[in-house]
Structure 1
Amino acid sequence: MTPRELAETLTELFGTTNVQEITSGSWQIDTSTFRLLVLLSEDSNWLRVLLPIVPLQEAQPFLAQFLSANFDDTQEVRYALYDSVMWGVYQHHSGTLVRDDLKNAIARLISLHTAGLNDVFNSLIENRIRQIVQAAKQQGQSLQATMQTLERFYAEGLLGEINQTTETREEVLAAWQRQLERLWHEVESQPE
């Protein structure tokens, strides 16, 4: 893909007012929700598309989930750390890049940006619930007994907010119930 084709594709995707060529072979796309960078290497052989996701300080607790997502979920794009920011990154040899692949990669980067921490947070939570199920099964507890233990923890104030209303506590417990029921039969009692 030539620099001209890159510029045309970016303009097609984002319009002329949002696309700025910052130097020869480098573009910045500013929208109301994100700033995307498209950079060609000095020899124009490699293209890199970058989109900031979250500051490193916010991403720090979820680094393992970001790396796992790179392995399983992010497809042609990757999470990367640079200059105290978690970025979405796409790299491709520019000579073999086609428009549809670039468009798909940009759409995927925007999807990662939109998700922010949600996907990695949900992954962390699911992993923790799986650990709870596994521990309960190792102790010989049933789903019902595990749920009763959680209800007791909430009633005693070991879990939940300090000023949590009864209604909110019931909503949280219902969410626990749904997740435990969803994962109970998937999780083995012994670690893999």
Structure 2
Amino acid sequence: MTPEEIAGTLTDLFGADNLQAIAPGSWQIDTATFRLLVLLSEDQTWLRVLLPIMPATEAQPFLTQFLEANFDDTQEVRYALYDGVIWGVYQHNSSSLVSADLSSAIARLISLQEAGLNEVFNRLVENRIRQIVQAAKQQGQSLQTTMQSLERFYAEGLLGEINQTAEAREEVLAAWQKQLERLWNEV
């Protein structure tokens, strides 16, 4: 894609009012929810699209899940860490890039930004539940016995919040039951 084609695609996606040329071969898109950077290399052979996701300090406990997502889930875009920020990044050779692929990559970056920590947190929780299932099975426990142990932990205050109501505890236990049933035969 030429710089003109890139600018045209960005204008089609975001409108001329949101698009700002910040230097030759560099654009910035400002919306109410994000700031997207689109940068061509000096020799115009590589295009990089960048979208800040969150401060690295917020993401620190989930760095493993971000890297796992790069391997399994992010498709043509990647999470990256630079200058204290987790970024969504897309890089492509500009000569073979087409507008549809650029549009798709931008949509995927925006999806990562909108998800924030939700996807990586869910991945962490699922990994922890899998560990619980594995430990329970190694001890010869059934799903029912494992659930009874969790219920006892909540009743004794070992799990849950200090001021958790009985209704809230029941909701949490129902979520545990659902996840354990979903993963029990997979682990």
Q: TM-score, structure 2 length as denominator?
A: 0.99
1:151 aligned to 2:151? yes
Which stretches of structure 1, 4 residues or more, deviate above 4 A after TM superposition?
Answer: none
1:23 aligned to 2:23? yes
Query: Structure 2: how far apart are the matches of 1:61 and 1:19?
Result: 34
SS at match of 1:74: coil
Query: Structure 2: how far apart are the matches of 1:38 and 1:149?
Result: 52
Counterpart of 1:67, as a letter, is L
1:161 aligned to 2:161? yes
Identify the residue that residue 190 of structure 1 maps to in structure 2. Answer: none
Deviations 1:2-52 (A, max 9, x none): 000000000000000000000010000000100000000011110000000
Counterpart of 2:113, as a letter, is H
Query: Structure 2: how far apart are the matches of 1:176 and 1:54?
Result: 29
SS at match of 1:127: helix
Query: Structure 1: how far apart are the matches of 2:35 and 2:158?
Result: 42
| CA root-mean-square deviation | 0.4
SS at match of 1:89: strand
SS at match of 1:88: strand
Identify the residue that residue 109 of structure 2 maps to in structure 1. Answer: 109
Counterpart of 1:15, as a letter, is G
Query: Structure 2: how far apart are the matches of 1:123 and 1:168?
Result: 23
Q: What does 1:53-64 correspond to in 2, within 5 Å?
A: 53-64=53-64
Report the CA distance between 1:171 and its aligned residue.
0.2
Identify the residue that residue 88 of structure 1 maps to in structure 2. Answer: 88
Q: What does 1:1-192 correspond to in 2, within 5 Å?
A: 1-187=1-187
Deviations 1:130-173 (A, max 9, x none): 00000000000000000000000001111000110110000000
Q: TM-score, structure 1 length as denominator?
A: 0.97
Q: How many residues in Structure 1 have an aligned counterpart in Structure 2?
A: 187
Counterpart of 2:124, as a letter, is L
Query: Structure 2: how far apart are the matches of 1:173 and 1:72?
Result: 29
Counterpart of 1:92, as a letter, is H
Gaps of 5+ in 2: none
Query: Structure 2: how far apart are the matches of 1:121 and 1:149?
Result: 24
Query: Structure 1: how far apart are the matches of 2:80 and 2:104?
Result: 19
